[in-house]
Amino acid sequence: MGYFCITFMQAMSPENSSNSRPTRAEEPLRPRAALRAIQSQARYLFAPEEFGRLVGRDGDSMMVKKALHRLTLQGLITLASRRPTSYLIVPAEQMHYGAPPITWWIDDCLKRIEPHYYIALLSAARYWGSAHYAIQEAQVMVSRPRTTATPGKLKVTFFTKRKISGTPVVVVGSGVAPWRVSTRAATLLDLIRHQDDVGGIEAIARVAKDFSSQLDRRCG
């Protein structure tokens, strides 16, 4: 009787039970389901390696490359960066633009390779309420030169700053994802340094006028 009980318990243990088979969540997903799994985490940027794991293939495999190509042709994803390679999920409400807003994904894109990045110049000025210039690009400050990114109809232009880590920034926590933006004072200083890129000193004067009543002289 004792032997029977032992063997019965062994048979019903997690290692031997049929319940130990991979759950459905662990099984390979179809490509569109893989996108939904990523988006369910309020994330829109992903690497081929992550997509490959979800569909049960190596990220460099031909199957994954073909699947990503098909999804791109269908307008469901778009290339965000070539180095390192990453893609953006395009939700239905953003199909017209071909990419989600930059603030939904820029932190995921840069936080590992450019941890001190921030939304800068006229894009930062716009965030702080100065919208004299409806620029058709997002301006981002980084520590090393990067080529302009054009996911969908978006244009992301990168500017460089050697001592970027010392720039005062605010982390915006509202919305889909957090992102970094220079403070008002830091934005004005950057605009002065890059005045040739933003329309000259008159453009900066208009931004400064918008900021004048809200600048904190102690920290910006």
Distance CA 53, CA 77 (A): 17
Q: Enumerate residues 6+ apart whose C-beta is below 8 A from 89.
A: 35, 38, 39, 44, 45, 46, 76, 77, 100
Rounded to 5 degrees, what angle do the CA atoms 86, 88, 89 make? 140
User: Same domain, yes or no, for 89 and 165?
Assistant: no
Q: What confidence score (pLDDT) does residue 212 get? A: 80
Largest CA distance in the chain: 94
User: Same domain, yes or no, for 112 and 196?
Assistant: yes
User: Same domain, yes or no, for 109 and 200?
Assistant: yes
Q: Given 42, 65, 98, which residue is the final one in a domain?
A: 98
Distance CA 193, CA 178 (A): 27
Full domain range(s) for residue 30: 2-98
**φ/ψ (deg, to 5) at 179:** -155, 160
In this structure, the strands spanning 156-160 and 138-142 are parallel
Bridge-partner residues for 56, per DSSP? none
Number of folded domains that form the chain:
2
The residue with greater pLDDT, 24 or 164, is: 164
User: Same domain, yes or no, for 93 and 144?
Assistant: no
User: Same domain, yes or no, for 87 and 150?
Assistant: no
User: Same domain, yes or no, for 200 and 122?
Assistant: yes
- Given a cut of 90, whether residue 124 has pLDDT beyond it is yes
User: Same domain, yes or no, for 92 and 113?
Assistant: no
- Is residue 87 assigned to a domain? yes
| Interval 45-55 mean pLDDT | 97
Structure tokens at 46: 């992903």
Q: What confidence score (pLDDT) does residue 174 get? A: 76
User: Same domain, yes or no, for 116 and 206?
Assistant: yes
User: Same domain, yes or no, for 54 and 132?
Assistant: no
pLDDT in tens, 100-118: 999 999 999 999 999 999 9
- Is residue 217 assigned to a domain? no
Q: Given 53, 77, 98, which residue is the final one in a domain?
A: 98
- Is residue 220 assigned to a domain? no
Q: How confident is the model at residue 214 (pLDDT cuts 50, 70, 90)?
A: confident
Q: Which amino acid appears at position 216 of this protein?
A: D
- Given a cut of 80, whether residue 11 has pLDDT beyond it is no
Q: Given 82, 98, 114, which residue is the final one in a domain?
A: 98
Distance CA 172, CA 165 (A): 17
- Is residue 71 assigned to a domain? yes
Say how many CA atoms lie within 13 Å of 85 toward its Cβ. Answer: 10
Distance CA 88, CA 35 (A): 10
- Given a cut of 80, whether residue 218 has pLDDT beyond it is no
Query: What CATH number does residue 56 fall under?
Result: 1.10.10
Share of the chain above pLDDT 90, in %: 72
The residue with greater pLDDT, 215 or 212, is: 212
pLDDT in tens, 133-185: 667 799 999 999 999 999 999 999 999 999 999 999 999 997 889 999 999 99
| Interval 82-91 mean pLDDT | 93
User: Same domain, yes or no, for 44 and 61?
Assistant: yes
Structure tokens at 147: 């080529």
- Is residue 179 assigned to a domain? yes
User: Same domain, yes or no, for 196 and 146?
Assistant: yes
User: Same domain, yes or no, for 120 and 84?
Assistant: no
Q: What confidence score (pLDDT) does residue 175 get? A: 80
Q: How confident is the model at residue 18 (pLDDT cuts 50, 70, 90)?
A: very low
- Given a cut of 70, whether residue 12 has pLDDT beyond it is no
- Given a cut of 50, whether residue 83 has pLDDT beyond it is yes
